[in-house]
Amino acid sequence: MRAKGIFLTILSALIYGFVPSLCSMTYLMGNNAVTLTFYRGVMILPILFLLMKKNGINFSCTKDEIIKIGIVAILGSTLTSLLLYGSIRYIGAGSSTTLHFLYPLFVVLICHYIYKDILTKRHIVALFISTIGVILFMDFKDFDKIKGVIMALVSGFTFSIYLVGIEKFRLSRMNDYKLSFYLALFMSIFVFFYGIITREFIFHQPIQAYLLMMVISVLAQLIAVICLKKGIDILGSSLASMFSMFEPVSSVFFGVLLLGETITIVKSIGCILILLGVISLVKK
């Protein structure tokens, strides 16, 4: 069972690491963070609706469940997407995603100090090694653009709210399709009104951009959400967040493969440290 949780969590990390490359492709076609986040949520809704109807899943939720899903959806996944995708405008995809990948630190701190979760020495060492690896990915020349730095860091914090909320609110026990549906619904509604108020929507885009957004929606809002949810249910949010540190490794790989980005010796060392940190967690 533990092996299944590790596999699903790492799979979600690989998917989340792949998505930024697709996002960058849509930006080259005139897209922006608000439009991308909106379509990420709204495009998957018909698919989830049909899956729920086909499997006879009840759409009803209690008031308590709606409140908890709303908190996780808005403060977690929605704000994370807006902040992370928006920070790229200021400090570039490399620095913004690397700063975002510090979220396991926030998860561990929240779970340990607020929920009193036990943190072993092995977990601390693994987290330290992996965090050093993440830091090696950073491009410090971008740090003078403080707005982008703050947005990226806050996106890491909001994503930690998502991870902890899924576990502590017991949303990981909800049906996979049902939770994904309501997370996407809340995201779509919130970003729709935000985009109307800020006038940041860009609807006139080439068909290729819409196709890429559809792929992003299926990968990030359906497959990755379900895999991570199951991983959290089995491992808990603290341990799942540590295995999620495969994201920067995945992001670098797909950046090189799809966008022609280069990987330096320092980043290679960072990848090795992250892998060592994660491997140390796999051993019992």
In this prediction the pTM is 0.84
- Residue-averaged pLDDT of the chain: 86
* Amino acid found at 154: V
Q: Say yes or no to pLDDT of 257 above 70.
A: yes
Q: Please determine, for residue 128, whether its predicted confidence score (pLDDT) is greater than 90.
A: no
Per residue in 183-207, pLDDT (tens digit) is 999 999 999 999 999 999 999 999 9
Of 27-31, 50-54, 124-128, which one has max mean pLDDT? 50-54
Which two three-digit tokens encode residue 250? 């995945």
**Whether pLDDT at 149 is above 90:** no
Alpha carbon distance 93, 107 (integer Å): 23
Could you tell me which residue, 150 or 207, shows the higher pLDDT?
A: 207
What pLDDT sits at residue 251? 73
Q: Residue 65's pLDDT is what?
A: 95
Query: How high is the pLDDT of residue 144?
Result: 61
102: pLDDT strictly greater than 80: no
- Find the mean pLDDT for residues 211-230: 95
User: What is the pLDDT confidence band of residue 222, given thresholds at 50, 70 and 90?
Assistant: very high
- Compute the half-sphere exposure of residue 175: CA atoms within 13 Å on the CB side of its CA: 16
Asked whether residue 81 carries a pLDDT value surpassing 80, the answer given is yes
> Would you say residue 258 has pLDDT above 90?
no
Q: How many helices (H) and strands (E) does the chain have?
A: 14, 0
pLDDT tens, 90-100? Answer: 776 666 777 78
Let me know: does 127 contact 106? Beta carbons within 8 Å: no
Confidence label for 142 from pLDDT (cuts 50, 70 and 90): low
* Lowest-confidence segment of 145-149, 216-220, 228-232 by average pLDDT: 145-149
Highest mean pLDDT among 29-43, 124-138, 232-246, 264-278: 29-43
Mean pLDDT of 257-273: 76
248 contacts 97 by C-beta, under 8 angstroms: yes
- Alpha helix ranges (H) inside 169-246: 176-198, 207-218, 224-235, 237-243
15 burial via Cβ count (<10 Å: 0-12, 13-18, 19+)? buried
Q: What's the pLDDT at 139?
A: 65
